[in-house]
Amino acid sequence: MRVLLIGGAGYIGSHVAIAMVEAGHDVVVVDDLSNSNAVAIARVRQITGRDVPLVIMDARNDDAVLAALAEEPPIDAIVLLAGLKSVAESVADPLRYYDVNIGAAISTLKVAAALSIRNVVFSSSATVYGSPADLPVNESSPTSLDLANPYGKTKRIIEEILADAAAADPTMKITILRYFNPVGAHTSALIGEDPQSAPTNLMPIVARAAAGTLPFVRVFGADYATPDGTGLRDYIDVNDLARGHVDAIIHAREGYEIFNLGTGIPVSVLEMISEFERAADRSIERRVEARRPGDVAVSVADPSKAEARWGWRAEKSIAESCRSYWAWQTANPAGYTSA
């Protein structure tokens, strides 16, 4: 198939691009590079030995996207990866999150309709589960628009929009992938996570502390009802996550379906820091601070549906993810600008 990756130059998108090409598909990337870098796509080409066109534009401008694709061969499927993703930032600037995230989704559906594309995959988030009463969460676990942060609300609203689109057109194949916490980097150390603004995810912060560019890791909350008092998360290696997108495209069915992509293994903030210390072979200072608004105590997936339906399961351990991320960090100390 020929797959359009909207937001495909980002951390997850660049790994999805490699997984798609290695599975035999052609890829076209649309990205405005607001939180990504064109070097990532150049390195995707280097790794795969294949041409991966990059169209630099805002995905919310559906007319411009359609014009850019007019001379391209037909697109068979779309993966919507574009969007702002910081929980803390969304609390501080909610209108920007609603504008960017929901706007990109609506424009994507307009592009799909104009090009008669029926296979659409959306990168959602485990944030939509809020603070679940029962763990691990499966795809039937309750979700709500009454969430603790606007980031999660945008993901839930987009899911509702996509559900309505599928209900209106029974030929649509819409797959929702609820990510848990992506970590790690490609084994080549050529592509990885390179946030353009100050990172809010744990692993890039820990990596920068290990590298000495940050003095310490701020641990937000050590008084949760968890074994060591810090938040528990389901950390999934980005390469495993990328494979999940390939399966979602291949196995798409008519209608609207949701799949969790996670490991089912909870890892605490302190455990993550300790594992990264082993990977980097150095100590990392940590300082406990108050909880952040919008954070939940525990978020762990039940990923059994994806395994039952697609034969997909996460394969890489948190130790492997820490090692690959450290290899990326040391080979690219300033991210893609190191090139």
The model's pLDDT over 288-312, given as tens digits with 9 standing for 90+, comes to 999 987 788 999 999 999 999 999 9
Stretch 222-235: mean pLDDT: 96
Residue 111 and residue 65 in contact, taking contact as beta carbons nearer than 8 Å: yes
Could you tell me which residues come within 8 angstroms of residue 116 by beta carbon, excluding any fewer than 6 positions away? Answer: none
pLDDT of residue 338: 78
Amino acid at residue number 237: D
* Mean model confidence pLDDT for the chain: 95
Stretch 255-274: mean pLDDT: 98
Measured between alpha carbons, how far is 52 from 28 in angstroms, rounded to an integer? 6
pLDDT of residue 233: 96
pLDDT band at 195 (very low <50, low <70, confident <90, very high): confident
| φ/ψ (deg, to 5) at 135 | -130, 150
β-pairing, 255-261 vs 286-289, is: unpaired
In 10 A of CB 67, how many CB atoms?
A: 12
For residue 198, pLDDT beyond 90: no
Q: Where do runs of H (alpha helix) occur along 49-130?
A: 62-69, 87-92, 94-97, 103-114
Q: Does residue 130 or residue 50 have the better pLDDT?
A: 50
What percent of the chain is helix, strand and coil (3-state, nearest 5)?
40, 20, 40
In 10 A of CB 337, how many CB atoms?
A: 11
pLDDT of residue 188: 98
Residue 97 and residue 151 in contact, taking contact as beta carbons nearer than 8 Å: yes
Amino acid at residue number 47: I
User: Rounded to 5 degrees, what angle do the CA atoms 99, 233, 333 make?
Assistant: 75
pLDDT of residue 162: 98
Residue 11 catalytic? no
pLDDT band at 239 (very low <50, low <70, confident <90, very high): very high
Q: If we measure between CA atoms, which residue out of 186, 192, 335, 242 comes closest to residue 27? A: 242
pLDDT of residue 327: 98
Q: Does residue 44 or residue 89 have the better pLDDT?
A: 44
pLDDT of residue 86: 85
Stretch 166-175: mean pLDDT: 97
For residue 329, pLDDT beyond 80: yes
Measured between alpha carbons, how far is 279 from 141 in angstroms, rounded to an integer? 35
Assign domain 2-184+236-262+308-314 to its CATH superfamily.
NAD(P)-binding Rossmann-like Domain (3.40.50.720)
For residue 146, pLDDT beyond 80: no
Q: For 269, how many CA atoms within 13 A lie in the half-sphere containing its CB?
A: 28
Q: Which of the residue ranges 47-51, 149-153, 246-250 would you say has the lowest mean pLDDT? A: 149-153
pLDDT of residue 293: 78
Stretch 270-293: mean pLDDT: 96
| Three state DSSP letters for 106-172 | HHHHHHHHHCCCCEEEEEEEHHHHCCCCCCCECCCCCCCCCCCCHHHHHHHHHHHHHHHHHHHCCCC
CA 42 to chain centre: 20
Rg (CA), the chain: 19
pLDDT of residue 197: 76
Stretch 101-130: mean pLDDT: 96
Q: Which DSSP letter does residue 276 get?
A: H
Stretch 333-337: mean pLDDT: 92
From 151, 235, 256, 336, active-site residue: 151
